[in-house]
Amino acid sequence: MDIDTIAAISTPMGEGAIGIVRVSGKDAIEVADRLYKGKMTLSEVESHTINYGHIIEPSTGEVTEEVMVSVLKEPRTYTKENMVEINCHGGLTSVNRVLQLVLNEGARLAEPGEFTKRAFMNGRIDLSQAEGVMDLIRAKTDRAMNVAMNQVEGKLSKRIQTLRQALLETVAHVEVNIDYPEYDAEEMTLEILQEKGTFVMKEIDRLLQTAQQGKILREGLSTVIIGRPNVGKSSLLNSLVHENKAIVTEIPGTTRDVIEEYVNVRGVPLRLLDTAGIRDTEDIVEKLGVERSRKVIKDAELVLLVLNHNEPLTESDQELFELSDEHDTIIIVNKTDLVDNIDMSKVRNLAGERPVVTTSLLMDEGVDELEEAIRDLFFQGDLETGDMSYVSNSRHIALLNQAKKSVEDALEAVEAGMPVDMVQIDITKGWELLGEVIGDSVHESLIDQLFAQFCLGK
C-alpha cells in the first residue's frame, strides 16, 4: 500500500457551486481532523457517515469554511484506504482553500487518475479492468497536459516562466558560489535571496488572483441590485436580462421563485442574485427595501446601487452607500429623463473611487456606459476580454499555493539565520513546483543555467 496520503478536488471545475476535496490514505482521517471542528472529531465518528462542521486554519484556529465531511474508513471505500470527502459550498475559492490546508497538513496532491490507480493496486478493481485503469491514467494525464499546453501560449505560462527564470538565476547563483567557491562571482547573500523570494511570492499571489478572475468567468460574478423602491431596479434588471439573454435558474418544484439569472455583460458573466426579490419588492415600503439589501449584499461580489436622479438623496440612500462600502460597487443615477433634483457632487463624494454612471433606463440611455463600467471594474485594465490567460485548473492553483509556501519557508529560513544552502532547498522546491504547473520540471536546466550564466573553467 502507498504510504502517502493524497488529496485532490474531485468535482469538475466551474460546474456548480459545491466542491468536494477528496483525501485518501492511511492518515486521511488524521489529516482532516487537524482541520475540522464539529460535534465530534472525525476519528470518533462512525464510518460511512456525513458530518456537519467547520474547517479551521490550524495555526490560528480561525474558522474558514462551513462544510459537510464524509468519513469512510478502510477497507470498504473506493481506494480501500481511509477516505475523507470534504463538501464545501461557495465554489472554487473555498474548495481550493480547503485543499491547500489539507496539503499543508501533509497530504500530497494526487496525480491524475491516482485514486483509481490506488483502487486497483489495493485490489478494489479486478484484473480485467487493469487496461481500463491504464487508459484512464493516460487520458486524464493527456487532458491535464492539454490544459497546460493550451496555456503555454498564453500569458500565464509566460508569467510562470519569468518567475521560474528569476528563481533559476538565483539558484544558479547560489550553486556557483557552492561548486566554485573560488570563482570571482559576487556572493549570493541572504539579503539578495530575501529580495528575490519576496518578489516571487508577490508574483505568485498575483497569479492566484487571476484564479479569482477565472472563477468569475466560469461561475459568474455574484451581483446584487440595491436601491430604494421605485428608483428603477426592476428596469435595470430587465435591461440587463433582455439585452444579454439571461439563463434562468429556478428552484425545483416551484415555478415562481426565480432566484438567480445569468447574464453575460461584455465578457463578464454576472450571476444576478435574488431577482425574484427585486421583482416582488419594488412596491414595498422603503424601510424593508434597506433590510432586504442588507441581507443580499452579504454574498455579493458586485453591487449595483441605483439612485433616483429625480429626487434628493435620502437617509436610506446614505445607508445603502455605507452598506456597500466594502464591495465593488457601481453607482447608477437613473431617470435622467426627469428633472435634476439630486446633488451630483454629493453623490460623487459619497461614491469616492467607485464609478458613477448616469442612465435613463426608460429611454435606454447610459446602458453602454454602465456595461463598460462593469467590464472595466472586472478586468482592471490588465486583462483583455477573451484572453484565457488566467489560472483555471484546480491542480495549478494547488501547485501555485504549494510553490508560494516553499518560497515562504525559504524566507523564514533566511529570518532564522540558516545558511544559504539550506534556504536554497526550499527555493529549488518552489522552482520545481512552478515547473509542474507548465509541465516542465527538468533538473538538468539548472546545470545549463549555471554554465550559461557563469564563466567557469580550468
Partner 1 sequence: MSYHGGEFDVIVIGAGHAGVEAGLASARMGANTLMLTLNLDAVAYMPCNPSVGGPAKGIVVREMDALGGEMARNIDKTHIQMRMLNTGKGPAVRALRAQADKFSYQHEMKQTIEETENLLLRQGMVEELMVEDGEIKGVITQTGAEYHAKAVVVTTGTYLRGKVILGDLSYESGPNNMQPSVNLSYNLKDLGFEMVRFKTGTPPRVNGQTIDYTQTEIQPGDDVPRAFSFETTKFITDQLPCWLTYTNGETHDLINNNLSRSPMYSGMIEGTGPRYCPSIEDKVVRFNDKPRHQIFLEPEGRNTKEVYVQGLSTSLPEDVQHNILKTIPGLQNVRMMRPGYAIEYDAIVPTQLWPSLETKKISGLFTAGQINGTSGYEEAAGQGLMAGINAARKVQHAEPMILDRSDAYIGVLIDDLVTKGTNEPYRLLTSRAEYRLLLRHDNADLRLTEKGYDIGLISEERYNRFITKKEEISAEIKRLEKTMIKVTDDAQEVMKQAGAAALKEAYHADVLLKRPELTYADIIKLAPAEKVLDADVAEQVEIQVKYKGYISKQLEQVGKLKKMENKKLPEDLDYMSIKGIAMEARQKLAEVRPLSMAQASRVSGVNPADVSVLHVYMEQGKLQKVGQTEA
**Sites of contact with partner 1 (CB under 8 A):** 3-4, 111-114, 117, 120-121, 127, 130, 133-135, 137-138, 140-141, 171, 175, 177-184, 416-422, 425, 442-444, 446-447, 450-451, 455-458
Strand partners, 37: 54
Please report how the helices 130-152 and 155-179 are oriented relative to each other, as an axis angle in degrees rounded to 10: 90
Are 236 and 332 spatial neighbours (Cβ–Cβ below 8 Å)?
yes
Residue with cell string 479492468: 129
> From CA 266, how far away is CA 284, in angstroms rounded?
33
Are 31 and 43 spatial neighbours (Cβ–Cβ below 8 Å)?
no
Supply 148's cell numbers. 497546460
> From CA 51, how far away is CA 41, in angstroms rounded?
10
Smallest distance from the beta carbon of 130 to partner 1, in angstroms?
4
Smallest distance from the beta carbon of 163 to partner 1, in angstroms?
20
Smallest distance from the beta carbon of 72 to partner 1, in angstroms?
23
Smallest distance from the beta carbon of 457 to partner 1, in angstroms?
5
Smallest distance from the beta carbon of 126 to partner 1, in angstroms?
9
The nearer residue to partner 1, 345 or 442, going by C-beta atoms, is 442
Smallest distance from the beta carbon of 415 to partner 1, in angstroms?
10
Supply 167's cell numbers. 528563481
Amino acid in position 457: G
Supply 266's cell numbers. 461584455
The nearer residue to partner 1, 59 or 255, going by C-beta atoms, is 59
Are 411 and 201 spatial neighbours (Cβ–Cβ below 8 Å)?
yes
The nearer residue to partner 1, 39 or 458, going by C-beta atoms, is 458
The nearer residue to partner 1, 117 or 404, going by C-beta atoms, is 117
> From CA 304, how far away is CA 290, in angstroms rounded?
14
Supply 130's cell numbers. 487493469
Cβ burial, residue 90 (10 Å; 0-12/13-18/19+):
middle
Smallest distance from the beta carbon of 123 to partner 1, in angstroms?
8
> From CA 238, how far away is CA 278, in angstroms rounded?
11
Smallest distance from the beta carbon of 122 to partner 1, in angstroms?
10
CB atoms within 10 A of CB 452: 11
The nearer residue to partner 1, 91 or 112, going by C-beta atoms, is 112
Are 96 and 397 spatial neighbours (Cβ–Cβ below 8 Å)?
yes
The nearer residue to partner 1, 148 or 373, going by C-beta atoms, is 148
Residues ≥6 apart with Cβ < 8 Å to 348: 356
The nearer residue to partner 1, 78 or 180, going by C-beta atoms, is 180
Alpha helices in 264-392 (DSSP H): 275-281, 286-297, 315-323, 344-351, 367-379
Smallest distance from the beta carbon of 115 to partner 1, in angstroms?
12
Smallest distance from the beta carbon of 121 to partner 1, in angstroms?
6
Query: In 221-354, which ranges are E strands?
Result: 221-227, 247-250, 258-265, 268-273, 302-308, 328-334
- Output DSSP code: residue 10: -
Smallest distance from the beta carbon of 441 to partner 1, in angstroms?
9
Q: In what order do the strands lie in the sheet with 268-273?
A: 247-250, 258-265, 268-273, 221-227, 302-308, 328-334, 356-358
The nearer residue to partner 1, 182 or 326, going by C-beta atoms, is 182
Tell me, rounded to whole angstroms, the distance of Cα 227 from its chain centroid.
30
The nearer residue to partner 1, 52 or 451, going by C-beta atoms, is 451
The nearer residue to partner 1, 344 or 422, going by C-beta atoms, is 422
The nearer residue to partner 1, 206 or 443, going by C-beta atoms, is 443
